[in-house]
Amino acid sequence: MDENTPGRRPAMVHGTSPNPLRRPADRTRARWLVGLGLSVLFAVLSAVVSGMAVWNADSRTARSEAERLHRITATTVGAAKHAPDEWTGGVTEAVAQAVWQYPTVTRHAGLVEVPPRTPAGRPVVIWVDDAGGTARGPRSEAEGAFAAITVGGTVAALIALTAAAVVHLRLRTVEAHSLSVWERDWKRVEPGWSGRLPTESGVDDD
């Protein structure tokens, strides 16, 4: 079969063809590079699986939260102001004193998040729990998607970088061994190739 025959091309590309000029080190490099490619593919598949797992878990959590949270309208009784750091964890937000009723006959009052410069007497939408206390709303789809992408990307990066590091170290070892063999073989053939007589150990030059 000719070298240009399509059936031989994959073997030549991956370094596994029986070419007498191809060294064992070349075949070893080719196998490790193929393994690196498979590792990258595995990293991508792992990212998809882990991302979907996070997405599904977040979706279940959001549905569970939505069942015990209620979206109602409160009325501000004071103008908006910056929230204290201990209330927001350092995030700049606007809050205002407001009153609301939930359940219908139970009246509540407290600080709620509002748009900046909200005046007193303005209706605002808030989330409350079954007892009527303020609560953060259920996790949005955008937050769930961001978490899934973050986890998937982290998993893919860890697997790919680990595989690349292992392959890099292995190829360095192969290269060092290949150079050592080349130097040994060169010392053996160089005298005959150059016409120089090899020096014999233990023989005086006198």
- Residues 79-122: pLDDT tens digits? 988 876 555 555 557 899 999 999 877 899 998 989 888 999 99
17-55 pLDDT, tens digit each:
555 545 677 777 888 888 889 999 999 999 999 999 999
* 65: pLDDT strictly greater than 60: yes
Q: What is the pLDDT of residue 174?
A: 78
Q: What is the pLDDT of residue 204?
A: 46
Instruction: Identify the weakest region by mean pLDDT among 66-70, 139-143, 158-162, 183-187.
Output: 183-187
CA distances (Å), origin 144, targets 32, 47, 62, 141: 37, 15, 9, 5
Phi first, then psi: give them for residue 183, nearest 5 degrees: -65, -40
* 68: pLDDT strictly greater than 70: yes
Q: What is the pLDDT of residue 206?
A: 42
Asked if 119 and 75 count as a contact pair (C-beta separation under 8 A), the reply is no
3-state secondary structure 6-61: HHHHHHHHCCCCCCCCCCHHHHHHHHHHHHHHHHHHHHHHHHHHHHHHHHHHHHHH
Asked if 33 and 163 count as a contact pair (C-beta separation under 8 A), the reply is no
Helices of type H across the chain: 9-13, 24-68, 85-88, 141-194
Rounded distance, CA 145 to CA 190, Å? 64
Q: What is the pTM of this model?
A: 0.56
Q: What is the pLDDT of residue 108?
A: 93
